[in-house]
Structure formats: C-alpha cells, structure tokens
Amino acid sequence: MTHRLNSWPAIILCSMSVTSTLPGDCHCTRPQKGETTHWGGNMSVVVVDEKHYRQIRGVVRIELSEEPIKGALVEIFTHPEQLLQNPSSGNEVKLKQRRIAACRTGVDGKFCFRDVGPGKYELRSSIGPGMNVTSVYVIVDPTEGNQEEINVDMHVGT
C-alpha cells in the first residue's frame, strides 16, 4: 500500500521486498567523520517491514533496475516510530533521534551491522542529488528473527 502525504517533504509508505542472504560478507566502509544523511531528493520514502530480522544486513539498489548502489550512506537510528507519524496531523511527537551505527555500501551495494541489539530501528539510506532518502522501519530479534537480507530500494527524486 502506498500513501503520499500532502506536506513537504512528502512521504511514501510502501511494502518491502526481501530475498535470501547472498553468500559472502559485505564490504562496507566507514563514512567520513561527521558525515550525515544526504538529503538529495525532494521526498522521503518510508518502508515498514513486518518481518523480524536476526541482524541488519542487506543491499541498497535502484528501485526498478535493481542495480546495486555503491557508496550509499546507510545509518541506523533509534525511535523509528517517528517514521509513522503524519506531520500534517498536528499530533507529531518529537523524540531525539540517535544514530547508533553507519557505513557506506561497497561496490556490490551491500551493508552489514554486527552486534545490533534487539529492538526497533530506523534503517536510513541516502546518497545525495537526484535520489530520495529511504527509511526502513526494522525490528531486530537475534533469537527469533529471519535470516534474510534486507533490500533497500532507493527511488530517483522527482
């Protein structure tokens, strides 16, 4: 289901595709010191995944072509519930977001975060001009979660 909210930046809520984990390990790198989200498009895309995962690992790709994106900044934040708030409702509750981890994807678009404790997180991917920021509401449960990989499909800005 996709919804477009009438405030800037617009937010799209949609489902998320997931595939089996690919063999091998990801080769993500540390971002530059002080580097934060690259707000390059004109809206944010919000994906709510109903599955639980044992760990946060996956691939960042261009939405329709499924081409992996090298060098995307992938960040993990606390308080993902903010993703589901409608800013035009006037009932917004601001919680202090805290980034707990970040990496840049390798040539294969892969990212991975080890030792992320159980909980609910915002997984945010950004790259800069021409691409919208994509956020995924993800639940980590190391004992009961799914071992699949998270695919983050980034959308070209409009």
Amino acid at 151: N
Beta bridge partners of 18: 150
For 135: left if phi > 0, alpha if psi spans -120 to 50, otherwise beta; the answer is beta
pLDDT digits (tens, 9 = 90+) for 108-152: 999 999 888 999 999 999 998 888 899 999 999 988 877 888 888
Homologous superfamily (CATH) of 3-15+25-154 is: Carboxypeptidase-like, regulatory domain (2.60.40.1120)
pLDDT for 100? 94
The 10s digit of each residue's pLDDT in 21-71 is 333 466 788 999 999 998 887 778 888 888 888 889 889 998 888 889 999
The answer, as to whether pTM is greater than 0.85, is: no
Q: Which residue has the higher pLDDT, 2 or 82?
A: 82
Is the Cβ–Cβ distance between 57 and 112 less than 8 Å?
yes
Query: What are the structural domain ranges in the chain?
Result: 3-15+25-154
Place of tokens 């994509």: 134
